[in-house]
Structure 1
Amino acid sequence: MIETSDISINSSGASLVALHGPSPDRWPTRRGSLTRPGKPLHGLPQDFTMQVSDIPDEPDDSEAGRDLPSEIMRQLCCHLVELENRWNAEVRVAVEIMMDTGRRPQEACTLRWDCLTRDTDGKAVLLYDNHKAYRKGRRLPIADATAALITTQQQRVRAQFPRTPIADLVLLPTGYANPDGTKSIADVTQQHREWVLSLPTFVLSMSTPDGAQTVRREIEFDKKNIFPYAYRHTYAQRHADAGVEPDVLRDLMDHRQLTTTQRYYRVSEKRRREAVDRVTTMQFDRSGSRIWRRAQRLLDSEHARRAVGEVQVPYGLCTEPTNVAAGGHDCPVRFRCVGCSHFRTDVSYLPDLEAYLADLLRGRERLAAFAADSWAKAEAMPSDEEITRVRRLVKRVREDLEDLTDEDTLQIQEAIAVVRRSRRVVSLGLPRTGPPEDLRPERPTG
């Protein structure tokens, strides 16, 4: 952190926001004379700018694993009536919206009355403001059940404040010093905590080994793990479990960076195991020869071997013992993996192999036209053998994919998504945000 009397710069960029105002496309350093001698950015060019995308997302409560099990969610939903009776309808609706949409408490509490709209297909869309990232007018596809909840609340508010213009109304008005219905309720964290503590013990059923058998036992769930932000984690986890692609989930969570979204969910061991089984059936060596394996015959020892006997390298896996022991940092052929007999790849690395081939071809064209000594160009020039080997490998993997049935292709694609997500390597494309599946647990209406 760099601190002066004029500015304090940290990873969140909050001080820049304070200096230049919220939500600009970029912050030019020449404003405020920050690049002058003695100033915190002295030495940078006058035209240097910091864009919004350059500022990391501030970590919220974003540790994966804080989602609530569906069994706990069902028990909570059964007690929503008690939440309304203890406080009021606005507090209940705020909590339900957080459960359904994964929005932050402030985003749910400050919704405008006219926050519900429809897209071109007639599907319900929630309009909200992302206060944390200074983004207004955000759009989130929501389920019909959530839209019905909001519609009922709109009718209740309109009946309570019939003379206030709709543009001035809020969806969740406070009951204190608010004669026109234009002030929203404050944060509901305290009300939520008191409600949870007043509820009966939460019970979670779990399977545990008992000798040679597996028995189901009921254990008490710690109420400290039930807090408003846990609903945001639950929203992310259930969409990830449903197979929503990471870049789509990033848009649903309204994060700037994919790495932030990935901290909100985890790939379950079961899904990871199933994906590894499926992808392993399409594994290839450096020559493009398929290494035939049957996924259903893989033993637990095979999964353990994959974890300790291989190390991830660019475009695949390495089984060379010395390199594995060094965590992939002791490669004697300088990561020319496609020329090494210890190299393995599978269908999940196809996008990386294709990108690598494109880089090799571009590099060869650039070097051919570059003004440099012949020995320097020869040293840096990708070899024809490497390009041929990568091209052959890409072709072989593609051919095997084309031979699959439509059903097998779909299963392989789903497995690839899980495997790539678990190793933090994803294939980004144009975001495709659509209405999420209605995963809203059944809850009482009274």
Structure 2
Amino acid sequence: MRRLLTPVVTEPAPGTDASDAEITAFLWSMIREDFLTEAGWNAERRVMTPTSHPTMGGRRCPVPNCESPVRGKKLCSTCYTRHRKSQMSMEEFVQVPRISRHLHMGTENCRVSGCQRPWINSGGEPVCRAHRWQMIKHGGPLEDFLADPTVKGLPGLGDCAVLACNRQAVNETGTRLCHPHGKRLPALRREPAFDEKNWLATAPSGSFGVEISFRGLPDLVVAQLLFGLQHRCHRGARTEAGNFRALIDRTIRPSGARRLEDVPDPVANEDALVLLNRTRVYAIRAVKTPEGEYAKDEWDLVAFGHRGTLVFTVIHQPWLRETAKRWARDYLSKVRSKSTASHAQQHLHGAAHLSDALRAREDRGMDKSALARADIENYLNRMSFLDANGRFSTNTRIAYIRMARNVLKQGRAMGLTRPGGPMAGLPDDFVISRLDVPKLPEPSEEGQDLPPEVLRQLCAHLDAFEAMTCYEMRLSVELLMDTGRRPEEICRLELGCLTRDSQGKPVLLYNNWKEQRIGRQLPIHEPTAKLIIAQQERVRERFPDRPPSQLVLLPSQNLNLRGDRSIDSNHLSGMHREWVESLPDFVLDDGTVFDKEKIFPYAYRHSFAQRHADAGVPIDVLAELMDHDSFETTRGYYRIKEVRLREAVERVTQMQFDRHGTRIWGAVTSVLDAERTRRAVGAVVVPFGTCSEPSNVAAGGGACPLRFRCVGCDHFSTDASYLPDLRTYLDDLLRQREKLRSMAEAEDWARAEAMPSDSEITRLRRLIQRVTEDIDTLTDAERAEIQQAAQAVRQMRQTFLGMPRIRQPLPDLRPERPACPHPTPPSRR
């Protein structure tokens, strides 16, 4: 889970409309002391020197007398260029002191004992300007001059008159300036429009290296910059000290703004613009409150604990806009998902289309008391018109109508129709009923699961995906295929996401962010567990100094110095799309080309559900594996298509037998529609087959006069799909007979009543034998078709009487990964 960016404070955020002093105090309470210490903050001088900071500082250049930082090389940029031209070895070059007449040099005190004035490194001796003239008159070497008892130290001249500068003044007369600013001022004074007072207030600091001066800035701007910088550093973003100093000296300080919100965007420097925007957004969002956002027509959802924005300007009527705001505030308090903003904005789009329809009225929908059912009908007709003319799809039309209905329905449920509410006076017939929402079209026959041959081709090209992105991206795709979790759940796995159950089988620990169910458990295969274990070791090697509890399993390669930032699911989807498009066509076994648009990360979840369903996993177990509350939700992830089911029924019906094992349909090659209908309404499912006895059919299968002794009744029939059930039932009868024979404590009449009939066992054996022999007469291709059709019919059968719970086999997608049994899912906690 994402760690807190700032310490927990007891005072609430003051809001963006608070005074400068209140915002400043609040931001300072959010700035951590350890960050200030690590960044080298000097509160008295208002100067930051992040020499050793991991994202702002850098190593010092090893060349003597060089104060510049090193970034990614062994030398600073200047010394690196000098070394390339010097034709010297690195060992020789770092022994030669750097001689520089740079105006920035001169921050050390004069070498004269007790002198508080700075010396200027301009090729002369390390003494201040006054002592330099004395030394010239003295005429001796530096050592003799410093040893002369008549040479006395001088008091300092104070700070440079430039507000941003943190150096001492060097001149005793006129405007007291440091050496760099003193050299600059005479040339500026010759300019006609030069304003010396403004220059002293806005001139650059003249700092160098990693030093950043905040002097001369308003207190609120300093607090905003430090808080934004802290947030950037926590996210792992690198911030060049020179870029941040340039942003202050060239953009913020000349603007004279009292807040970062008032600083104009830099025009020529894109890096400075990005840095300003990021820092400004972090500082502004820190003081936002839900109450402050509620009064606006565009909400920043950070104030509500979400990402993104909500725009209400698309709704024109004030009463409907206020209703939408009340609905959104209620919705945001209940839902915690990465797509919360997207879902909420879609509801607003649905309400916006309703608003557009109301604008066609003479009063433009402003008088809500004049609205009626006719306006709802006009809205529904308008949506149908837009759908018919290609403005949006049928599914989008249905979704917008349903979402507009949700807003109005929830508004009434929240009591917004009471006096004083935004919906007060709204007529009762101005509602979108359940019947007004059109039914969704029948899903396509293909569904959203991926065929096994497509999955095998994807697995064969995983190396190409890793080459495009990184190993973490590749591993995320493998985990999506193996576990069927949502992309966000896989991307945000913690490092300790693997555990073992009481039998030693691997279990994946994940968080269901969509439904806010934390600490969910999913049994996984041993090969998948090995992938996770190897990745855990890789992460520990990459971040050896971080506690394992603060690391994630799939750390991002960018902005992630602490290892607590996961790869982004949206970025994964984008890179996955590029990878799929770069691959050759996906050819199925029948020679058709599979549409690449149907291959996306969420399709692996549908494929996971379909694999389990095809393996015979009951729907209650599959719902547990999918972490669904409703069986209806689970059914939406897999289905036997109507065409496929019809073909399967026809094949299985051709292999239908009566109780004697005689084929009923003989040489019939196709089932007539009338016979299919009779099969559906004239028979009822019973254990191991179907029953056509009228009274039992009328009772729905609960009034069998023979107490389900089906193999002795002429109304019973079975087919090849029931063959595993018949064999299981026969085994149960044999076991029960042997157990009863060994029970000496039971009386004879009780044992006789409970004893399975030998006739029933004989009939059952004969039936199984006849069905098996008839199937064996088929060719291999016909037998394979019958087996596939029987599996399809078994999957769609409503009753699982006598069906064993078949665990999912590992799909044969990765031959190099051996299969292993799938443990039974744990019960819902």
Residue 131 of structure 1 corresponds to 513
Residue 683 of structure 2 corresponds to 344
Residues in 2 aligned to 1:145 and 1:297: alpha-carbon distance in whole angstroms: 48
Task: Report the CA distance between 1:191 and its aligned residue.
Answer: 0.7
Residues in 2 aligned to 1:421 and 1:444: alpha-carbon distance in whole angstroms: 29
Q: Does 1:197 align with 2:586?
A: no
**2:497·2:508 contact (CA, 8 Å) conserved in 1?**
yes
Structure exhibiting the larger radius of gyration computed from Cα positions: 2
**1:142·1:435 contact (CA, 8 Å) conserved in 2?**
no
Residues in 2 aligned to 1:272 and 1:302: alpha-carbon distance in whole angstroms: 9
Q: Does 1:170 align with 2:542?
A: no
**2:654·2:669 contact (CA, 8 Å) conserved in 1?**
no
Task: Report the CA distance between 1:195 and its aligned residue.
Answer: 0.8
Higher relative contact order, chain-length normalized (CA < 8 Å, sep 6+): 1
- 1:264/1:20 CA distance change after superposition, 3 Å: closer
- Match runs of 1:331-410 below 5 Å: 343-347=682-686, 390-393=702-705, 395-396=707-708, 408-410=726-728
**2:498·2:506 contact (CA, 8 Å) conserved in 1?**
yes
Residues in 1 aligned to 2:689 and 2:813: alpha-carbon distance in whole angstroms: 38
Residue 249 of structure 1, aligned match among 600, 614, 622: 622
**2:480·2:490 contact (CA, 8 Å) conserved in 1?**
yes
- Match runs of 1:41-440 below 5 Å: 65-187=447-569, 188-206=572-590, 218-267=591-640, 268-269=644-645, 281=657, 294=663, 297=666, 299-302=668-671, 304-307=673-676, 309-310=677-678, 317-318=680-681, 343-347=682-686, 390-393=702-705, 395-396=707-708, 408-410=726-728, 419=793, 422=796, 425=798, 436-439=808-811
Residues in 2 aligned to 1:266 and 1:300: alpha-carbon distance in whole angstroms: 26
User: Deviations along 1:250-292, whole A, 9 cap, x unmatched?
Assistant: 11111111111112212353655566677x657xxxxxxx798
Residues in 1 aligned to 2:467 and 2:525: alpha-carbon distance in whole angstroms: 26
Percent identity of the aligned residues? 39
**2:543·2:562 contact (CA, 8 Å) conserved in 1?**
yes
Q: Does 1:4 align with 2:320?
A: no
Residues in 1 aligned to 2:793 and 2:471: alpha-carbon distance in whole angstroms: 43
Residues in 2 aligned to 1:177 and 1:158: alpha-carbon distance in whole angstroms: 18
RMSD (Å), alpha carbons: 4.7
User: Deviations along 1:176-220, whole A, 9 cap, x unmatched?
Assistant: 1111100100010001011111112222221xxxxxxxxxxx232
Task: Report the CA distance between 1:83 and its aligned residue.
Answer: 0.8
Residues in 2 aligned to 1:6 and 1:394: alpha-carbon distance in whole angstroms: 65
Amino acid at match of 1:104: R
Task: Report the CA distance between 1:294 and its aligned residue.
Answer: 3.0
Residue 210 of structure 1 corresponds to none
Residue 165 of structure 2 corresponds to none
Residues in 2 aligned to 1:291 and 1:36: alpha-carbon distance in whole angstroms: 70
Name structure 2 gaps, 5 residues minimum: 1-319, 338-412, 425-442, 691-695, 717-721, 733-786, 818-829
Residue 336 of structure 1 corresponds to none
**1:64·1:263 contact (CA, 8 Å) conserved in 2?**
no
**1:127·1:137 contact (CA, 8 Å) conserved in 2?**
yes
Residues in 2 aligned to 1:7 and 1:220: alpha-carbon distance in whole angstroms: 49
**1:84·1:92 contact (CA, 8 Å) conserved in 2?**
yes
User: Deviations along 1:25-83, whole A, 9 cap, x unmatched?
Assistant: xxxxxxxx9469728999xxxxxxxxxxxxxxxxxx99962211111111111110111
Task: Report the CA distance between 1:142 and its aligned residue.
Answer: 0.8
Residues in 1 aligned to 2:414 and 2:689: alpha-carbon distance in whole angstroms: 46
**1:143·1:435 contact (CA, 8 Å) conserved in 2?**
no
Residues in 1 aligned to 2:550 and 2:727: alpha-carbon distance in whole angstroms: 52
Task: Report the CA distance between 1:160 and its aligned residue.
Answer: 0.2
**TM-score, length of structure 1 as denominator length:** 0.61
Amino acid at match of 2:663: R
User: Deviations along 1:367-388, whole A, 9 cap, x unmatched?
Assistant: xxxxxxxxxxxxxxxxxxx98x
- Match runs of 1:20-35 below 5 Å: 20=334, 34=414
User: Deviations along 1:392-438, whole A, 9 cap, x unmatched?
Assistant: 3582357779xx99862449999999657537x4679xxx8x97422
**TM-score, length of structure 2 as denominator length:** 0.34
- 1:112/1:253 CA distance change after superposition, 3 Å: same
Task: Report the CA distance between 1:17 and its aligned residue.
Answer: 5.6
Residues in 2 aligned to 1:124 and 1:18: alpha-carbon distance in whole angstroms: 36
